């Protein structure tokens, strides 16, 4: 019975994130929503040169960052994404808040 409850909870959590992501245009693939790897100093290395954001609907949650040289940099101007060869929204990865917070904050990209 415990296994069923855990599976049900996991499915509900995934559906909740997928429903939010569907509205935001981000990928709803389970591997794009959450990383199962532990949070730590290597979070920045794991997401180097990738576009990342956390799940959620607050203005802070909706910020998209690029990880460069071990720092997350908020992309203020969305034109930067296309100009640098990224695809919107396909290249934006949803990662756990704890992982995003583990990456030091760098200067915003205007």
C-beta separation of 37 from 46 below 8 A: yes
DSSP-assigned letter for residue 49:
T
Which residues are paired to 71 by β-bridges?
68
pLDDT digit string (tens) for the chain, length 110 residues: 334 343 333 333 333 333 334 444 444 343 444 445 556 568 999 999 999 999 999 999 999 999 999 999 999 999 999 999 999 999 999 999 999 999 999 999 99
């Amino acid at each position: 019975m415990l296994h069923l409850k855990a599976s049900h909870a996991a499915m509900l959590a995934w559906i909740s994130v997928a429903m939010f992501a569907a509205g935001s245009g981000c990928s709803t693939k389970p591997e794009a929503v959450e990383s199962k790897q532990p949070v730590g100093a290597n979070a920045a290395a794991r997401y180097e040169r990738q576009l990342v954001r956390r799940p959620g609907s607050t203005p802070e949650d909706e910020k998209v960052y690029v990880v460069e040289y071990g720092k997350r940099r908020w992309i203020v101007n969305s034109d930067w994404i296309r100009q640098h060869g990224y695809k919107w929204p396909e290249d934006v990865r949803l990662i756990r808040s704890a992982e995003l917070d583990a990456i030091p904050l760098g200067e915003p990209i205007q």
